[in-house]
Structure 1
């Protein structure tokens, strides 16, 4: 019940302000329809062209020339056709510059044309050029100027592209040649400076081989030193035997045999022990009486031992020198092995830069050959094929503004404004419309008096409905008048 009473109260309040709402709707609609009628007509001129990408580029060049995608050039023409220099040429050719008296106006005209001129691809080869203007002849002239530019660009783009590409590739090749020479020089200097480290390359087997060789030399040096000391001992013992004079031939033979065995075996060898025992037995045997003291002089055996000692000293010196050289080489290679990873990483980075630069240089050389092949093909065949399917004509009917649609939109806006005003006034209305409102504020209600003028109430309703109907008829008249005007112009 409360909701029903609230709705009834708002309806009564809204009905009270109906004329204000209707007046606002009429005001909004009248102003809106006047503005719609005063809007200038815009005429659209269009043309359709056929551009053959296969003729523009040629299927023979796919895969070997610089333009393997035929549609790419047409897309490029679409993007570059409406560049600022081309738009300025269109303005100069069509006389649009007469409309702009100031530099700011000219700048605004250039920016508008760059967005107002539309190139729409219908299919892969079919394109539509459209432009709208208040002057139908100007719309046609602008489309014609765009067509002319398109044809000129289609015929001249290949040549300009080839010249630009050739000059660009030539500059890049010259630059890469200089960079490549510098990279080769840096690489050669680095290799010459760190040849040993680069040759080592973390070669662990080489270090192991040097260590094994050094260990072997040390063993040989110990053997040589032992042999030298033994020869010295034998030489030192030989003169003492010689000074004793008369020893038996058997003792001399035993002593000579012992010396030979000691050169080959150690003192614990059984043959050496047996020879030592034989020598002791020979010395212990009785000897003939001495005939006199003989002068001490080196025997032939002592001379041989002396020569052997010289050879032994030379062998020891040689082995010591080889051991020292091996130790130095091992130390040097160990230091190199510690520094080799950093040097190798630096060389790999240098070599990687050189490899990338050389690959880019070789690709540029291949690209130059492709350009030459493409240019040769372009000089012997038709490169551009542009046909005008529908030439531009002077439009007779405006395409904008859509006055009928805009008039209907104005009507909707006017009615919405009237309803909004009524709702606002209802919210601000402080009058009492039902007895319940009086009771809620504490006033006693003795009775309710109904309206005694039903005929006048009906007349007010009819007048309000007539006002709304006249508003709708006015909207229909505006829409119909717009259609009649368009037919009359046609």
Structure 2
């Protein structure tokens, strides 16, 4: 209890010692608040309620391109409308903030600035006017959700003139509605333009990939994966034909060797037989060979087309034999006279010579067959090697083609997806242009304020009084802290060791001088 009374007494002593330090700020704060309260003018507030209407076409039919939450979009629109350019137009149109006649809420502060020499005291600058108007506009979302959406929002403006306040609020509402439509339409058009540019790039990439696949197929024609079964069947057939051809070649060589042995063993008349043989063989052997080749051609055409290599080789051999037969016919017709001269020799020829000539014809025919078989054998070997290379190249070509087709399929899906998105974007763009999308609609127009709103003068004076008191108390405490002194015996405790024996009270010599002067008189 003694400690509390002592502390309270100390505080009273400090207040008494620093009374002017406390009283001067207190008086200044009280006078300043009174001055400000006398200059503060009433103001008016006008507000309008705007409903956020969702798009009229169901989203399952037309997907909007702008899905920004209402609160986010309002923040963007607010920044655009509260730009310096737009606010300057409104200020000039309604002739706002032309002087310190009290048409704003900070009129009292401007008077203090003028009194202190901070403000020029003339007309308010455009920068100050823009800032004052920004402070006077308020936008509030109603029904705000966690995702930042809302069903409606209000726009409020406060000013000194009720009519101007209402007109400015209506203009702000119109600007919000127009800016929202403009932003949504621009977003829809920008989306369409972007998607069309991306579709063009995708189309070019798709054409490049298609050209690469086409060139790859042309380069590797015959060795593609889808031709593997055909190549294997052709390879099997060629190998069977090669085996058959080799058997026929071996048989022809055996028959030729047997005929040659028979001619050799028949006697000395071989020379005449050799002379007569070629004459008869020219007329008999090529025809039989031609018939055989034509029969082989019919068999090949029953299975393959005209472009098949075997068909073309057989046709070439047939043409050669036909030319040979034609030449032989011409030679026979031109050589009738010579045959007549040789008639005697032919008539005298014995029957064995005819046999010899037939054997020679058979040998010549067999030689022709052997030549055909050998040529055909070499052709078949080349074809088999070519088809084997094609079959061996199929796995590598299959992997390369799969990579090309994989990239092509991805690009094709992307291209088709972009086409679908462009259609959706165009629908959304038409919807926004016809104002069928999400839009703002005024429900409650701006009201004409009738009752002004006043600042409480008592609150202003009380605030100035408390502010001055706080400043004075702070200065007094600061001075006590910066200028410590020993004023009581208790202040020496803990500072010096010797005990305090006596205290000398504050002594002033002026009363004693006056008293002694009275006694002398």
TM-score (norm 2): 0.55
Contact 1:58 1:383 in 2 (8 A): no
Matches within 5 A, 1:72-87: 76=73, 79-80=76-77, 82-84=81-83, 85-87=85-87
Larger deviation: 12-21 or 232-241? 12-21
After superposition, give the CA deviation of every residue in 1:199-225 in whole Å (9 maximum; x if it has no partner): 89983x855874685477456535533
The within-5 A match list for 1:234-273 is 234-245=255-266
User: Does structure 1 residue 130 correspond to structure 2 residue 156?
Assistant: yes
Provide, for residues 75-124 of structure 1, a one-character-per-residue CA deviation record: whole Å limited to 9, x for no partner.
Answer: 74674253424322321233126359999942453355335411113445
Say if 1:45 and 1:394, in contact at 8 Å, map to a contact too. yes
CA change 1:114–1:186 in 2 (3 A) is farther
Partner of 2:88: 88
Match of 1:121 in 2: 141
Q: Which residue of 1 aligns with 2:410?
A: 352
For residue 366 of structure 1, report the CA deviation from its aligned partner: 3.4
Q: Is the 8 A contact 1:48 1:128 kept in 2?
A: yes
Equivalences for 1:274-353 in 2 at 5 Å? 307=365, 310-311=368-369, 313-331=371-389, 334=392, 337-338=395-396, 341=399, 344-345=402-403, 348-349=406-407, 352-353=410-411
SS in 1 for 2:171: helix
Contact 2:238 2:380 in 1 (8 A): yes
- Structure 2 unaligned segments of length 5 or more: list them: 101-119, 144-149, 268-349, 507-521
User: 1:283 maps to which residue?
Assistant: none
Q: Find the aligned partners of 1:331 and 1:34 in 2 and give their Cα distance.
A: 109
- Change over 3 Å in CA distance of 1:118–1:142 after alignment to 2: same
8 Å CA contact 2:21, 2:472 repeated in 1: yes
Structure 1 residue 228: deviation in Å? Answer: 1.5
Give 1:285's aligned residue. Answer: none
The correspondence for 2:215, drawn from 159, 169, 193, is 193
Q: Distance in 2 between matches of 1:230 and 1:49?
A: 112
Q: How many angstroms apart in 1 are the aligned matches of 2:423 and 2:445?
A: 40
Aligned length: 390
Match of 2:427 among 355, 365, 369: 369
Cα gap change, 1:448 to 1:429, in 2 (>3 Å): closer
Deviation at 1:360, TM superposition (A): 2.2
Which residue in the other structure is 1:415 paired with?
473
Alignment counterpart, residue 26 of structure 2, candidates 29, 40, 58:
29
SS at match of 2:139: strand
Task: Say whether 1:392 aligns with 2:392.
Answer: no
What's the secondary structure of 2:155's corresponding residue?
strand
Match of 1:194, SS state, is helix
Q: What CA deviation, in whole Å up to 9, does each residue of 1:135-189 have, x standing for no partner?
A: x32x8734530323314653x5687568656765775576567556645643443
- Please say if residues 202 and 341 of structure 1, whose CA atoms lie closer than 8 Å, have aligned partners that are also in contact: no
Cα deviation, residue 302, structure 1 = 8.0
1:401-412 aligned within 5 A: 403=460, 404-405=462-463, 407-412=465-470
Q: 2:502 aligns with which of 428, 443, 449?
A: 449
Separation in structure 2 between the aligned mates of residue 367 and residue 148 of structure 1, nearest angstrom = 32
What residue in structure 2 maps to residue 145 of structure 1?
A: 168
Deviations 1:269-318 (A, max 9, x none): xxxxxxxxxxxxxxxxxxxxxxx996695586886676566446534533
| CA offsets 1:454-486 (integer angstroms, 9 cap, x no match) | xxxxxxxxxxxxxxxxxxxxxxxxxxxxxxxxx
Contact persistence 2:142–2:152 (CA under 8 A):
yes
What is the DSSP-based 3-state SS (H/G/I as helix, E as strand, rest coil) of the residue aligned with 2:445?
Answer: strand
1:425 alignment partner in structure 2: 483
Q: Which sections of structure 1, spanning at least 5 residues, go unmatched?
A: 247-291, 454-490
Aligned partners of 1:243 and 1:296 also within 8 Å: no
User: 1-side partners of 2:211 and 2:457: how far apart?
Assistant: 76
> CA, structure 1 residues 201+83, in 2 after alignment: closer, same or farther (shift >3 Å)?
farther
Give 1:229's match in structure 2, choosing from 250, 267, 288. Answer: 250
Once structures 1 and 2 are overlaid, which stretch shifts more, 43-52 or 168-177? 168-177
Is the contact made by 1:32 and 1:410 (CA closer than 8 Å) also made in structure 2?
A: yes
SS at match of 1:52: strand
Tell me what 1:269 maps to.
none
Cα 1:355/1:97, change in 2 over 3 Å? farther
Deviations 1:316-343 (A, max 9, x none): 5335324323433543565575466456
The 2-side partners of 1:399 and 1:234 are apart by 138
Using the alignment, how far apart are the partners of 1:113 and 1:408 within structure 2?
31
- Tell me if the contact between 1:64 and 1:370 (Cα under 8 Å) persists in the aligned partners: no
- Alignment TM-score, normalising by the size of structure 1: 0.58
Taking a change above 3 Å as real, the CA distance of residues 383 and 79 of structure 1, as seen in their structure-2 partners, is closer
Partners of 2:491 and 2:72 in 1: CA distance: 73
The CA distance in 1 between the partners of 2:97 and 2:9, in whole Å, is: 62
